């Protein structure tokens, strides 16, 4: 059964790639888009690449917020400013056949996974050429090896089901799901953890604890221990309080490889911080709390490993590349 | 062979023929084989792909969604249809949405099976027919088991298409024998199949040809079995001839067979076991009244259960749920009524 299970999937499609319908790249504004200025120059050091990828996500999010203020975007958006290191660190260890399920705050995860800035921007701008033709918008994104949905908790069993598919195929694919501290309030999470542990599914839960669920702080939302919620099911938790992409990359690597090696589900619990508002201009958090976190943000922390000249070069390259993406996408119908 | 066994054989055949089929549900593994024994023997034959789960309906639906997104064909059993409330978010915000919101880049062909319905004394939370709450969920098919539809054909259709499906199985159908029309007859009634393009067939049953029928009765599931008895009895004992239409799919509805029948008979009675109001029948009434306004000779009669909890006591339960007497009364009223315009 396992050996025949790949025949119906087709050779090229990843774990949960398109089963039907048009080729997603066929409708992309720039088919197969990949810009080295955003995702990494051949031969450059890991330190530079990681910085570049975080800068890319930061600049994309800042650009989106500016476009919102300009009035050219419809709906809403949830920026991940301050959390870029998590996405970049985890994606370092994934292969094309792995699958990522993300949530409402998915831009960083998507960009780190695919590099597809024009597809995402066109999507958020509601253009036909968007990665989901303008239907999904900011929170509902699909690309080979990547999906997101905007309902807390509900994505976790879907990721577990994708993990079960990998297990049934006898493949060593990993299914990763990104949740937040707010998701810990959803009961379906715990139903799924129980099943994932019982069936030893190749599922990595990355919990980004950014201290605030929309407007409600962890202290008001959460009784008991975060890690204890997972260990209660016998699921190992690696807890890390860091915005350092190098530390995070090492932690994520160990977790991804353990899951890939058949260790069953695992959790990477990252204590981090969201520097921007929840969606758009809805921030009542204490200004001094936010101010205290800016010196700890990932670009500052990791940026110290680079020279001023290196940072400036990468910053300039990313700025130009994102500006070109904006110009390209603006011109699309 | 009784319906439960037919369904069991159907699932076994699906698992055998298609390595993508996975069956999930509570207590479905051997030796128990499911609360209604529909999955008996399957976990022994397919241990990897027939999995008993914890009591976690949301996870059953959600894991099925992930399997389906990854190319599998999950069939999930929700032990009692009453517990469909626990999968509502997964169905509405996830399973039924993926294909459309991802612009056809993914499909999520989950089949959710739900043993439903009352008349067994199980009381308020184990007797309901909650399918009306799923009717009209965009991109979701709602299909009802009946004795005149071969589950093999129905499941072949599910597996051939990419839409998610809610399949409701009235519990009282399980011990009954299938009566799939064969050679133009089903029991003592004339039987034909009618379907719009690409739709599962609606089975049309009557004692005499449609042209001689004075009303159409539209009923599904167990209520269709009760309605068939009423149709037969009224024909034999009182020469009141009506045509019974038994659709497989409740939503989206295949209107063509209904229009063809009501266009001739001019009268329509709908029958469902779910609580009355805001229901399948009222939607049918609204649609038929609009489409066949000129052909209708009387208002559409909607038969449904009392909108209250379903009592455990046999006597009390039978006063709440639709039975043959309510169907018969509505058919008699429809057959006798003509509004002169």
Q: For chain B, percent helix, then strand, then coil, each to nearest 5?
A: 40, 20, 40
Structure tokens that stand for A13 in this block: 């499609």
User: Are A194 and B54 in contact (CB < 8 Å)?
Assistant: yes
Residue B341 lies in a domain: no
Together in a domain, B17 and B161:
yes
- Could you give phi then psi for residue B314, rounded to 5 degrees? -60, -45
Q: Which chain B residues are within 8 Å of A168, Cβ to Cβ?
A: 22, 48-49, 72
**Residue B200: per-residue pLDDT:** 97
Q: Which chain B residues are within 8 Å of A21, Cβ to Cβ?
A: 99, 103-105, 107
* Largest pairwise CA distance in chain A: 59
Is pLDDT of A13 > 50?
no
Burial of residue B208, with CB atoms counted within 10 A of its CB: 0-12 exposed, 13-18 middle, 19 or more buried: middle
Using CA atoms, how far residue B108 sits from A35, A67, A301, B105, B168, in Å, is 32, 34, 42, 10, 19
**Residue A30: per-residue pLDDT:** 74
Is pLDDT of A16 > 60?
no
Together in a domain, B215 and B159:
no
Question: What's the rounded Cα separation, in Å, for the pair B263 and B296?
Answer: 8
Kindly report which listed range (A10-19, A26-35, A142-151) carries the lowest average pLDDT score: A10-19
CA B71 to chain centre: 26
Q: What is the CA radius of gyration of chain A?
A: 19
User: How many domains are there within chain B?
Assistant: 2
Question: How close A102 gets to chain B, by Cα (Å)?
Answer: 13
Please name which of B136, B132, B56, B67 lies closest in space to residue B98, comparing C-alpha atoms: B67
Residue B157 lies in a domain: yes
pLDDT in tens, A99-111: 999 999 999 999 9
Together in a domain, B161 and B204:
no
Together in a domain, B62 and B156:
yes
Residue B271 lies in a domain: yes
User: How much is the average pLDDT of B71-94?
Assistant: 98
CA B80 to chain centre: 15
Out of B148, B173, B198, pick the residue that ends a domain.
B173
Omega of the bond prior to B73 within 30 degrees of 0, cis?
Answer: no
Together in a domain, B238 and B114:
no
User: Are B106 and A142 in contact (CB < 8 Å)?
Assistant: yes
Overall fold of domain A47-330: Rossmann fold (3.40.50)
Answer yes or no: are the C-beta atoms of B165 and B111 closer than 8 Å.
Answer: yes
Which residues have C-beta within 8 Å of that of residue B190, sequence separation ≥ 6? B184, B205, B206, B207, B208, B209
Out of B173, B203, B229, pick the residue that ends a domain.
B173
User: How much is the average pLDDT of A270-284?
Assistant: 86
pLDDT in tens, B113-153: 999 999 999 999 999 999 999 999 999 999 999 999 999 99
Residue B179 lies in a domain: no
Answer yes or no: are the C-beta atoms of B155 and B8 closer than 8 Å.
Answer: no
Please name which of B281, B286, B259, B291 lies closest in space to residue B327, comparing C-alpha atoms: B281
Which residue of B19, B70, B89 is the best one to mutate when testing the A interface, meaning the one whose CB has the most A CBs within 10 A?
Answer: B70
**Residue B341: per-residue pLDDT:** 57
Together in a domain, B199 and B305:
yes
User: How much is the average pLDDT of B234-254?
Assistant: 97
**Residue B265: per-residue pLDDT:** 97
Domain boundaries, chain A: 47-330
Structure tokens that stand for B185 in this block: 């007859």
- Verify whether residue B126 is a known catalytic residue: yes
Which listed residue (B94, B126, B149, B170) is catalytic? B126
Question: What's the rounded Cα separation, in Å, for the pair A223 and A237?
Answer: 18
Together in a domain, B137 and B192:
no
- For position B208, which CATH number holds? 3.40.50.920
**Residue A168: per-residue pLDDT:** 98
Domain that holds residue B46: 3-173
- Quick one: which H or E segment has residue A6? none
Whether A175 and chain B come into contact, CB under 8 Å, resolves to yes
Question: What's the rounded Cα separation, in Å, for the pair B53 and B231?
Answer: 42
Together in a domain, B84 and B202:
no
Which residue of A18, A146, A176, A191 is the best one to mutate when testing the B interface, meaning the one whose CB has the most B CBs within 10 A?
Answer: A191
Question: How close B193 gets to chain A, by Cα (Å)?
Answer: 31
Residue B289 lies in a domain: yes
Q: What is the dihedral of CA A135, A114, B69, A161, to 10 degrees?
A: -130
pLDDT in tens, A40-87: 999 999 999 999 999 999 999 999 999 999 998 888 889 899 999 999
Together in a domain, B145 and B197:
no
- For position B72, which CATH number holds? 3.40.50.970
**Residue A29: per-residue pLDDT:** 72
Confidence of residue B68 (pLDDT cuts 50, 70, 90): very high
Whether B49 and chain A come into contact, CB under 8 Å, resolves to yes
pLDDT in tens, A215-252: 999 999 999 999 999 999 999 999 999 999 999 999 99
Out of B153, B173, B193, pick the residue that ends a domain.
B173
Question: How close A295 gets to chain B, by Cα (Å)?
Answer: 38
Is pLDDT of B1 > 60?
yes
- State the average pLDDT for chain B: 97
Per-residue HEC secondary structure of A186-235 comes to CHHHHHHHHHHHHCCCCEEEEEEECCEECCEEHHHHCCCCHHHHHHCCCC
Residue B243 lies in a domain: yes
Structure tokens that stand for A31 in this block: 């088919």
Question: What's the rounded Cα separation, in Å, for the pair A192 and A201?
Answer: 10
Residue B76 lies in a domain: yes
- State the average pLDDT for chain A: 90
**Residue A24: per-residue pLDDT:** 40
């Amino acid at each position: 059964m396992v050996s025949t299970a790949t025949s119906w999937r087709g050779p090229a499609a990843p774990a949960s790639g398109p089963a039907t319908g048009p080729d997603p790249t066929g409708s992309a504004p720039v088919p197969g888009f990949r810009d080295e200025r955003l995702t990494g120059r051949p031969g450059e050091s890991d330190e530079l690449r990681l910085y570049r990828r975080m800068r890319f996500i930061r600049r994309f999010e800042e650009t989106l917020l500016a476009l919102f203020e300009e009035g050219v975007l419809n709906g809403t958006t949830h920026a991940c400013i301050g959390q870029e290191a998590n996405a970049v660190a985890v994606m370092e260890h994934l292969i094309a056949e792995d699958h990522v399920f993300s949530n409402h705050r998915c831009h960083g995860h998507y960009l780190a996974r695919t590099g597809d800035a024009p597809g995402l921007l066109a999507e958020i701008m509601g253009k036909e050429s968007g990665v989901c033709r303008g239907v999904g918008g900011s929170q509902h994104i699909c690309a080979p090896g990547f999906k997101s949905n905007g309902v807390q908790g509900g994505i976790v069993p879907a990721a577990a089901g994708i993990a079960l598919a990998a297990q049934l195929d006898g493949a060593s694919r990993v299914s990763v799901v990104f949740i937040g501290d707010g998701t810990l309030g959803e009961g379906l999470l715990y139903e799924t953890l129980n099943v994932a542990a019982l069936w030893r599914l190749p599922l990595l839960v990355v919990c980004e604890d950014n201290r605030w669920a929309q407007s409600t702080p962890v202290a008001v939302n959460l009784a008991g221990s975060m890690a204890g919620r997972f260990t209660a099911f016998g699921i190992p938790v690696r807890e890390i309080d860091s915005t350092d992409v190098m530390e995070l990359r090492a932690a994520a690597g160990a977790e991804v490889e353990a899951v890939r090696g058949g260790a069953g589900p695992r959790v990477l619990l990252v204590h981090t911080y969201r520097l921007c508002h929840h969606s758009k201009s809805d921030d009542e958090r204490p200004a001094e709390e936010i101010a205290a976190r800016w010196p700890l943000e990932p670009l500052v922390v990791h940026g110290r490993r680079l020279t001023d000249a290196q940072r400036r070069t990468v910053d300039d390259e990313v700025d130009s590349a994102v500006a070109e993406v904006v110009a390209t996408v603006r011109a699309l119908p | 062979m009784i319906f439960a066994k037919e369904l069991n054989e159907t699932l076994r055949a699906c698992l055998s023929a298609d390595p993508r089929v996975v069956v999930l549900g509570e207590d479905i593994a051997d030796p128990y084989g499911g609360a209604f024994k529909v999955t008996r023997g399957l976990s022994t034959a397919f241990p990897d792909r027939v999995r008993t789960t914890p009591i976690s309906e949301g996870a059953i639906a959600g894991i099925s969604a992930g399997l389906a997104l990854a190319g599998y064909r999950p069939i999930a059993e929700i032990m009692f249809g009453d517990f469909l409330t626990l999968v509502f978010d997964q169905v509405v915000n996830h399973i039924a949405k993926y294909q459309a919101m991802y612009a056809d880049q993914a499909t999520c062909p989950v089949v959710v099976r739900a043993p439903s319905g009352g008349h067994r004394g199980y009381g308020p939370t184990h007797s309901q027919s909650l399918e009306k709450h799923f009717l009209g969920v965009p991109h979701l098919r709602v299909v009802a088991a009946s004795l005149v539809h071969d589950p093999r054909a129905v499941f072949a259709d599910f597996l051939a298409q990419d839409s998610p499906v809610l399949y409701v199985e009235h519990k009282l159908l399980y011990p009954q024998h299938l009566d799939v029309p064969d050679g133009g007859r089903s029991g003592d009634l004339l039987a034909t199949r009618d379907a719009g393009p690409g739709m599962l067939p609606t089975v049309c049953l009557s004692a005499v040809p449609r042209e001689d029928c004075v009303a159409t009765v539209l009923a599904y599931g167990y209520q269709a079995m009760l309605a068939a008895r009423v149709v037969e009895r009224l024909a034999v004992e009182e020469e009141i001839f009506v045509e019974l239409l038994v659709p497989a799919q409740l939503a989206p509805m295949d209107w063509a067979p209904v229009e063809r029948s009501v266009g001739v008979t001019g009268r329509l009675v709908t029958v469902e076991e779910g609580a009355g109001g805001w229901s399948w029948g009222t939607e049918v009434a609204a649609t038929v009244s609009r489409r066949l306004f000129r052909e209708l000779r009387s208002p559409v009669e909607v038969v449904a259960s009392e909108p209250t909890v379903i009592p455990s006591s046999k006597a009390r339960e039978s006063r709440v749920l639709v039975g043959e007497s309510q169907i018969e009364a509505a058919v008699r009223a429809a057959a006798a009524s003509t509004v002169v315009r």
